[in-house]
Structure formats: structure tokens, C-alpha cells
Structure 1
Amino acid sequence: MTNRNTTFHILLAAQFALIAVSMLVNVKTGLFSMVLILSLTVICLIQLSNDKSTEWERGQNMMTWLFIVWLSYYIMEIMNPNCVLEAWNINITPYALIPLICAFVVPVVIRTKKDIELLLIVWSVFVIIFTLKGYWQKNHGFSTKDLYFLHVLGGARTHIIWSGIRYFSCFSDAANYGVHASMAAVTFSIASFFATSRWMRIYFLFIAVCGIYGMGISGTRSAMGVLMGGMLMITIIAKNWKALLGGIFISISVFVFFYYTNIGSGNQYIHKMRSSFHPTEDASYLVRIENRQRMKELMARKPIGYGIGLSKAGNFNSKEQMPYPPDSWLIAVWVETGIIGLILYLAIHGVLFAWCLWILMFKVRNKNLRGLVAAWLCMNAGFFIAAYVNDVMQYPNQLTVYTGFALCFAAPYIDRRISEEKGEKDEETKEKELIIN
């Protein structure tokens, strides 16, 4: 393993470590994450510049150009009359820097299938930590820090509810934990079919089970969107009629189970998940719909939004504040950057999904490689469904999501390398046969 690999994997691990450390002490995630990302990225780029085998053109891809456009719009938001520079500074890392860094660095650094598997292994270690913390909360009670969040900061209002307790592990809230757990469930369950060794396949399946457990105890309904979205996406990428029909059958079966039956409703977690299939019967959902209608009236005169980081009233002192909570990431983007910013944001991600799909379906021939990378893209598809329902673009999700997109742009180069290595082995085999004959 080279230094460039080590540094990038440390960068990924550091984002998860910040969440894990928050079990013990209060961590200003945004500030520490910015310092870690920028410092480790600089180190990685220095190492790459000293590596003669570095192909910089890999970083000059469609994803990089798309997020340069988004960064340009983000910079223009400074001119928003309602802009608060402190909020703008805090949000530049998750909004613009992480996507751009991943777009350029990942295709240059990740050069083999083993590099991708190692990324999954790094992530898996922290999935286990997050699962153990969630298990401990459920079976042994909350820590002093957890109780402070629940009873002093007001977390009990949304985490100790009619359906039972929603466990949040090391995360800021149960929604963030549940969505991250379901992201792991989708990624590792798909990756388990394409891992190199039998033991790794078993290990990845175990991590997927950990993810499903975490999703269950979080009581997060939006996590179902991650599973359903991921399931449907893999049927498209598979380019296989059996996989397509199988995926459609499973999706319909899940929908019928939750929508048309009451099986298992005695279990609080199944009951909670089932409620996500009946949103019109949910009071909180109806309140969100009403809030969005009121927001629409206010946003009509805010084409560039209220300003970056100002979707939630009270966090910063701004001239104007949105009186209604956004309750989801995509609604927050709309409130903060206006209809212009939202259209640009959705267009960039729509193009990104289409481009990544085209790469995997028509540019990558190695089935195992395509499956490993598809696992990340399927997770991303489900994640953005959840992003419409909940504010889930929080640490450490950003780096995971945009690494997934960037791996699609690295995949054709890795595929070419696999083909070249296979060709060399075939040539060696032929030469040996000639010598023997």
C-alpha cells in the first residue's frame, strides 16, 4: 500500500472517527472536519506530485467540472444581502469542498479493486462501532452525555415518542444514524456478491446485517427510502433480466408487506417503518406539507434564498430568518440558495447519476469491479431519496456519498488495468505452452 492510499484512507477514517469520539466528548465536527480534510488533502496531493505514475488527467472529469460550477454559485452567494459570513464559512466544506475534493482526488488515488475493498473495510470498522454503541444504548441504557442530549438539549421530544425510544448511537440524532446504517446495509449487501475472497463476502454480509439492525433500532422511516432506492438501482445496473425481474418482485413484495398488511405491527420498529408507507396518516408529515406550502409563499421573493447555512432560524443572527424548519436536506438547499440554487443543485446531481450509470453499464467490463462500484452508486440513489425526507447530509455522510460518485469515474481506469494485467498473464501462459511443446 502506497502513501497516497494511506493518506486518503486516513482521510475517510478521520471523518468516522470524529463521530465515534463524540461518544466521549463534545466535538465541533464542522471545524475539525474542515481542518482534517484540507490538511490531509494537501498531504495527499504532495505525495501524488512526487509519484511518477500519477495520471492527473483522471481528476479532470465531468464530476470535477460539475462541482466547479456549483462552487462558483456557492461563492456568488456571498453577495446575498442576507448572507452571514460565519455561516458561509462553516458550510463551504460539506456544500462544496468535499464533492470537489472527491471528484478530483479519488480517481487519481484509487487505482485497483483492492483499493476499493480497503475503503469498504475502513468504513466497516466504524459501522461495527456505531452498531455496538446503538446496541449498548438499547440494552444497557444511555450514557451521561446521551442523557444530556435527551433531557437538557430537548432530544427526548423526538427520540422518546409514542412508538418507543429511537436510538441514535454516536450520531447527532436517530434520523442521521438510521440513514447511515441503511447506507451501510445497501452498500455492503451488494458488495458481498463481488468481493475478492469468500471470507470477505461473509464479512461484508455481517456488516450489512449490522446496518439493518441499526436502521431498525433508530426508528427512522426515511431509511426505508435508502433500501428501496438502492434495490431498484441495482436492478438497472445489473443489465440482467433475471436481476431486473427479481428486484422488481422484491420491491413489490416489500411494498405489499408494509402497505397492505399488518403483519408484525406488534413490533414497534416494524410499526414505525410501516408508517412511512402511510404518510397521509402521519401528523408530522402533514405538518411538513403545510410548512412547505407556507415556505413556497416566502420563497417566491427569494430567488437566491435566505443565504447559506440560514435555513434553520436562530443559529445565526441574520437580517431575515425562515420561520419554518426545512426538515430535509433538499428543502434546506432550496431555502438557502433559492429556486436558482435548487435547480442547479438538482441538475448537477441528475447529470452525475446519469453519467455514472452510463460509465458502469457501458464502460466497465469486469463484473466484480462493476458490482463493487455499483454498490456505492446504489447507496447514493437511496440516500438522495432520504435527503428529500430528512436532513441527512451531515457528517460523515458527505464524504461517503461523494466518494461513491467519484469511484464511478475511477472505474474505467481500473477496468483497463485489469484487462492489461489479464492480457499479460495470457501472453505469459502462451509462452510457457510454446516452451513446453
Structure 2
Amino acid sequence: MGLIAPVIIIVASIGIAFFISIFLNPRVAVISYFIYCFVISGLLRNIDGVPFGPVMEILLLLTWITMLVNKSNFKLSSWKNDYVYITIIWFVINLLEIVNPAGASFLGWLNEIRFTSLNWVLLAPIVFVMLNKKNDLDFFLKLIIAMSVLAGLYGVKQLYFGVSGPEQKWLDDGADFTHIVFGKLRVFSFYTDAGQFGASQAQMSLVCLVLAMGPFKIWKRVLLFFAAALLFYGMLISGTRGALFALVSAAFFAILLSKNFKVLIIGSIIAVGFLGYLKYTTLGNGIYQINRLRSALDPQDPSLNARLMNQAKLKSVLASMPFGGGVGVSGMNGAIYNPDKLLSTIPPDSYWVKVWTMYGVVGLVIWFSMNTYILGKCCGIVWNIRDDKLRVKLIALTAGSAGLFICSYGNEVMNGFPSSMILYISWGFVFYAPRYDTPLIKTKEANS
């Protein structure tokens, strides 16, 4: 068998060691899932013929199986809370969409539900049952920052040293239409596309910046400032205009939740000044990334007008479809599995619009209400946290998730990886956070 034999032996040995490790410690499986969410798109793009997609669900199922096997180590009843109940309700709604009268393809539904609901309903309880210690929150923050910085560095490599052979083939096969603009590469790193990369980098840049202003050691704050700057640059080189709204809206939430009047005033002035610079000046127009970002504030932008025209078409089609065209009828799965449906031919250009297309106005109202309830409760929890270090971490996660949600009006961000994973886990940590908080009696003693 030549070289194949030792390769098979090595891979099998690693696989056996991995399975043993996850049964000894189920956290290994879910941490592997976190990392995998960052790299899956890069693996799919660079390695042909390997079914990397289902590995996500396999890792989550392994997490649940090993958690149940080791149930004596976990308090399984901890999953009972309103956040997890919401995910279950949404999952049930997605199951009911099988019988949507619009008659969308079953295969389209099966592929789409993995992203719209299945991963969320499997992931949400894990924070409460397994990742329910303070150091789990710290580890999660370190992991997503480290992986985001790695993605940013790889994006810089793509910009200055070129893309790999398989990445070039991906561009040549049609992705260049959206990723080569005026001869300039919109950097996508090892994410699904430049839109996902730019929005995620914007979110994580804000997370690092908030943490850098927290009551932590100087060397940590310096590293976080450098990480924030790199990730902001990653946002710029992605050429993703919607990422600007992720950054600005996340900054607004962070400033508001800080409960610091001075920070609120200064932060608002900086944010308004930055938007004014982009909107009312031409400084920096020679720099492609700035010019591209500036076009996001142009009401005459052709891309914006095309989106509005598509929304007008959808409004006409969906007027008689209060429950939408069915899960999987829009976007990539719509084009693949429902090419005979009119809705599949109209680009949603937005996750909010995609939800409207698939679930109709009824589903959109339910989905929007669920998300705003979760965000609102997260803000209320953060507002009442007494531990200063914990509050800063929760502000970073809550503001970042708010930015992703708002940015998803312009791009399908919160439904893609790694953003969806970061979003769902962040919400779980914030909901669980009051149990980490400093007891009120200690706070009173400290002030006396």
C-alpha cells in the first residue's frame, strides 16, 4: 500500500485517541466544534471530495452522547430556562415548515434547517449544563479572539501574498463576481465569503476593544488593543460595507451598557464623527478600503437600490403567502433544491429578508420577537451585574451579538459560521452570568 498504510494508521490512532478523550472529558468535543466552525469553510474550499459539512452535527451529537454517558458529572436540569425554551420553540416551527403549503423541496428543508435551527437547539443547552463555570467563559473569549486573529492574519496574507490554488479556482468558478471589485480582492480568509469575514472581524474588533478598556492587567489590555486594531483592519480589507453597521451598532450597545456618562458622551462624539467623516468628506478616497466603506452611506448606491428592488419583488410574491415559501426556498439551497420556485430566483441579500421569504410575515414576526427578547434580556442582565470584570466581558459579548443581529439586515451573517456559533454561545453565557456574579452582601460589605 506504500505511503497509504502509515497514513491510515496515523489517522486511525488520532481518531481513537480523540474518541477516548471526549468520553473522558465531553468538553473536548464541544471545543473541537468551536474551532471547527472557524475552519470548515476553508477546508471545504481547499480540499475537494471530503464531506466536511456533517462533521459539525457529528461533533454536537458526540458532545450530547458523552455528556449523557457522564451525566453524573453534570446537572442536566440546568438547561431549563427561557433561552433554551425559545430555541426549542423555533426548532418546532422549523419542523412544522415541512408541511408548508408552498411545497418547497424536502432536501432543501433538510439542508437549511441545519443552519436555521438544528445547531442552535443542540448548542444552546450546552452552556448551562457543561460550560457553566467562570473559567469556561474566559476560555471561550480567549478561543474566539485567538481564532479571529488567526483569520485576520490569514486575510492579510491573502491580500499581500495572494490566495492559494484552490481559493483561486473558487474565485475563477464564479466567486470573483462578488470578491473582485474594480480589480481589488475582497478578502475572505478561511470563512465562507468576504461578507461573513468582514462582519465577524468587526464584531470581534469591538469585543477586543471593550475588553481592552476593562479592569485587567496592562499587558492583557495592550494585547487586546493590538488585536482590536488587526481585526478592524481585517474588516476594512474584506470590503464588506455592512460590517460598518455591525461595528457602529455594537459600539452603541457597548457605550450604553457601560453606564458611564463620560464614556457615553465621548463615544457618541467619536462614532458620529467617524460616520460624518465617511459621509461628508472625500478624505481617503484614494484608499480602496475606505472608499468601499464610504459607499455604505450612499443612498444612491446601485447595490442598495438593487436590494430594494428585490425586496419590492418579494413583497409582491409573498403578499398571498403569510407563512412564506418554506425553509430552504431562498438563498443557496433555494437555487440548488428549489429552482422551480419563483422565490428561489430572487436574491434575499439579507438574513432578515431570507427569514421573511422562508417563513412569511408570521414567521418573521416570531423570529424578530425572539431575537429582540433575547437581546433585551441580555442587556438587562448586564445592566445589573455587580462584578466589574464580569460586566465588561458580558458587555463585549452582548454588544457584539447586537452588532451581528443588526448587520444581518444587510448580509446573511448571523446564520453563517463562525458567527452563528459565537452568537448562540454568547447569549448562553450572558443568560447564565448572574450565577457568576458577586453576591450582593459582599458588595455591601465592600462599600461599608
**1:10-409 matches, cutoff 5 A:** 10-22=32-44, 24-26=46-48, 28=51, 30-47=53-70, 49-51=71-73, 54-81=74-101, 82-151=103-172, 153-162=173-182, 164-194=184-214, 196-278=216-298, 280-312=299-331, 313-317=334-338, 320-322=341-343, 323-362=345-384, 364-392=385-413, 393-409=415-431
Which whole-Å CA distance do the structure 1 matches of 2:27 and 2:146 have between them?
17
After superposition, the Cα gap between the structure-2 partners of 1:406 and 1:85, relative to the gap in structure 1 and judged at 3 Å, is: same
TM-score norm. by structure 2 comes to: 0.87
CA RMSD of aligned residues (A): 2.3
How many equivalent pairs are there? 416
1:429: which partner in 2? none
Shift, 1:352, TM fit: 0.8
Shift, 1:207, TM fit: 2.3
1:433: which partner in 2? none
After superposition, the Cα gap between the structure-2 partners of 1:172 and 1:17, relative to the gap in structure 1 and judged at 3 Å, is: closer
SS of equivalent to 2:342: coil
After superposition, the Cα gap between the structure-2 partners of 1:321 and 1:43, relative to the gap in structure 1 and judged at 3 Å, is: farther
Q: Unmatched 5+ residue regions in structure 2? A: 1-23
Which whole-Å CA distance do the structure 2 matches of 1:88 and 1:295 have between them?
20
The one-character-per-residue Cα deviations of 1:16-54 (angstroms, maximum 9, x if unpaired) are 23244346314655422222222223323443x121xx4
Shift, 1:163, TM fit: 7.0
After superposition, the Cα gap between the structure-2 partners of 1:324 and 1:24, relative to the gap in structure 1 and judged at 3 Å, is: closer
After superposition, the Cα gap between the structure-2 partners of 1:367 and 1:343, relative to the gap in structure 1 and judged at 3 Å, is: same
Letter in 1 for 2:261: W
Greater shift, 76-85 or 38-47, is seen at: 38-47
Greater shift, 119-128 or 222-231, is seen at: 119-128
After superposition, the Cα gap between the structure-2 partners of 1:421 and 1:193, relative to the gap in structure 1 and judged at 3 Å, is: farther
Shift, 1:56, TM fit: 3.9
Task: Report if the CA contact (8 A) 2:247-2:403 is conserved.
Answer: yes
The one-character-per-residue Cα deviations of 1:100-138 (angstroms, maximum 9, x if unpaired) are 233322133333332212112212332233122211211
After superposition, the Cα gap between the structure-2 partners of 1:159 and 1:20, relative to the gap in structure 1 and judged at 3 Å, is: closer
Which whole-Å CA distance do the structure 2 matches of 1:9 and 1:201 have between them?
25
After superposition, the Cα gap between the structure-2 partners of 1:122 and 1:23, relative to the gap in structure 1 and judged at 3 Å, is: farther
Task: Report if the CA contact (8 A) 2:83-2:428 is conserved.
Answer: yes
Q: Unmatched 5+ residue regions in structure 1? A: 427-437
Shift, 1:253, TM fit: 1.1
After superposition, the Cα gap between the structure-2 partners of 1:109 and 1:192, relative to the gap in structure 1 and judged at 3 Å, is: farther
Which whole-Å CA distance do the structure 1 matches of 2:115 and 2:335 have between them?
20
After superposition, the Cα gap between the structure-2 partners of 1:124 and 1:22, relative to the gap in structure 1 and judged at 3 Å, is: farther
Letter in 1 for 2:57: M
After superposition, the Cα gap between the structure-2 partners of 1:101 and 1:202, relative to the gap in structure 1 and judged at 3 Å, is: farther
Letter in 1 for 2:108: A
SS of equivalent to 2:337: coil
Task: Report if the CA contact (8 A) 2:206-2:400 is conserved.
Answer: yes
Greater shift, 103-112 or 132-141, is seen at: 103-112
Which whole-Å CA distance do the structure 1 matches of 2:245 and 2:148 have between them?
19
Task: Report if the CA contact (8 A) 1:130-1:170 is conserved.
Answer: yes
After superposition, the Cα gap between the structure-2 partners of 1:93 and 1:204, relative to the gap in structure 1 and judged at 3 Å, is: farther
Shift, 1:402, TM fit: 0.9
Letter in 1 for 2:59: L
1:432: which partner in 2? none
After superposition, the Cα gap between the structure-2 partners of 1:204 and 1:22, relative to the gap in structure 1 and judged at 3 Å, is: farther
Letter in 1 for 2:267: G
